């Protein structure tokens, strides 16, 4: 009876099975596209934030490893602090620049040669035995890594913005900086060379993310911490980095590592700039100081260790 009723109107089971599928209307397609666009707009920022958090976690892990290696070196060497420079001016440095012997880089691309030299120099330095991972040199958020060109150091002011770099970290100069020797370079601020003379290790940073757009980070990171006790006149010579949003990673002398949030727009813009003219010999624009970046420069001066601020 059921089939007969359908047959009366010319509809059979066979004809219903052969009926073509119903297509989407234009309105339905537009609605689906709109929903996908809304979901993408909601998800992409979350994915980007998640990526930044992952990169920041990797960066903290790198600096933590370097900091623990820095402490273990002192423990094994009569309390002496390893040179945060990249030459042997004050004994073996944490890494050599350039390495000797040099690695075989025949046939490598310019960027790969640069990385090979850095990694070889690190392996020859004093910290490698305590942190034997050559990739500990590199923060995955370092934007200079995505720049194609490798420029010469000899004429840094002539380099266009954005020189390739792999090494993301520098040691604080007041903790046995050298090359040139720190005490000769900054006679008003004598360096600390033993852990026993570092009285506030949890407040004094050893490692800092640096953005040198002229080439790889060389030697030690420096600033003028200003007058002892008051920090009046403090200013930066080198540039900090700001690869994790407006945050940067620090490793402290007691062994811990943490993110620090930058507050001053002038310092943030300076940190993000890849113009080589921002650093010597041009200094354009001028490096941040207590006038242009009072919060950030004060933070850096208070945490910068030397004999006046142990």
Dump pLDDT digits (tens) for 245-291.
899 999 999 999 999 999 999 999 999 998 888 988 888 999 999 99
Q: How many residues does the chain have?
A: 310
pLDDT of residue 233: 94
Residue 289: closest CA among 219, 235, 243, 246 = 235
Contact present, 99 and 124 (Cβ < 8 Å): yes
Of these ranges, 39-43, 142-146, 175-179, the one predicted with the greatest mean pLDDT is: 142-146
Average pLDDT over residues 230-239: 94
More confident residue, 164 or 263: 263
Which tokens hold the place of 67?
A: 């900091």
Give burial (CB, 10 Å; 0-12/13-18/19+) of 107.
exposed
Residue 203: closest CA among 247, 241, 259, 254 = 254
Which tokens hold the place of 203?
A: 């407040």
Tens digit of pLDDT for each residue in 111-139?
Answer: 999 999 999 999 999 999 999 999 999 99
The residue whose two tokens read 């509809």 is 11
- How many beta carbons lie within 10 A of that of residue 152, not counting itself? 11
More confident residue, 195 or 177: 195
Contact present, 98 and 131 (Cβ < 8 Å): no
Question: Using CA atoms, how far apart are residues 263 and 240, in angstroms rounded to an integer?
Answer: 13
Question: Using CA atoms, how far apart are residues 98 and 77, in angstroms rounded to an integer?
Answer: 24
Backbone angles phi, psi at 224, to 5 degrees: -95, 110
Rg (CA), the chain: 28
Question: Using CA atoms, how far apart are residues 22 and 19, in angstroms rounded to an integer?
Answer: 9
Which tokens hold the place of 174?
A: 């007041």
Q: What percent of the chain has pLDDT over 70?
A: 83
More confident residue, 218 or 243: 243
Q: Does the pLDDT value for residue 149 go beyond 60?
A: yes
Strand order, beta sheet including 247-252: 169-171, 205-209, 247-252, 257-261
């Amino acid at each position: 009876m059921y089939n007969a009723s359908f047959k009366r109107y010319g509809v059979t089971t066979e004809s219903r099975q052969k009926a073509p599928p119903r297509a989407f209307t234009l309105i339905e397609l537009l609605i689906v596209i709109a929903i996908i666009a809304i979901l993408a707009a909601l998800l992409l920022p979350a994915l980007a934030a998640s990526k930044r958090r992952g990169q920041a976690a990797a960066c903290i892990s790198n600096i933590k490893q370097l900091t623990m290696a820095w402490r273990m070196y002192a423990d094994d060497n009569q309390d002496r602090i390893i040179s945060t420079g990249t030459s042997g001016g004050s004994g073996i440095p944490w890494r050599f620049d350039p390495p000797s012997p040099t690695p075989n880089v025949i046939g490598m691309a310019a960027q790969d040669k640069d990385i090979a030299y850095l990694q070889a120099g690190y392996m020859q330095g004093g910290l490698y035995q305590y942190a034997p991972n050559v990739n500990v040199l590199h923060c995955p958020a370092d934007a200079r890594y995505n720049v194609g060109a490798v420029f010469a150091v000899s004429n840094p002011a002539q380099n266009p913005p954005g020189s390739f770099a792999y090494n993301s970290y520098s040691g604080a100069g007041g903790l046995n900086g050298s090359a040139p020797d720190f005490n000769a370079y900054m006679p008003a601020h004598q360096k600390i060379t033993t852990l026993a003379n570092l009285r506030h290790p949890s407040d004094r940073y050893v490692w800092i993310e640096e953005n040198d757009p002229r080439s790889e980070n060389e030697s030690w990171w420096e600033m003028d911490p200003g007058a002892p006790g008051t920090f009046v006149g403090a200013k930066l010579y080198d540039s900090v980095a700001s690869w994790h949003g407006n945050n940067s990673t620090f490793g402290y002398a007691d062994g811990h590592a943490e993110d620090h949030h930058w507050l001053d727009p002038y310092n943030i813009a300076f940190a993000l700039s890849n113009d080589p003219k921002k650093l010597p010999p041009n200094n354009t624009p001028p490096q941040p100081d207590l006038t242009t970046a009072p919060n950030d420069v004060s933070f850096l001066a208070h945490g910068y260790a030397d004999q006046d601020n142990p």
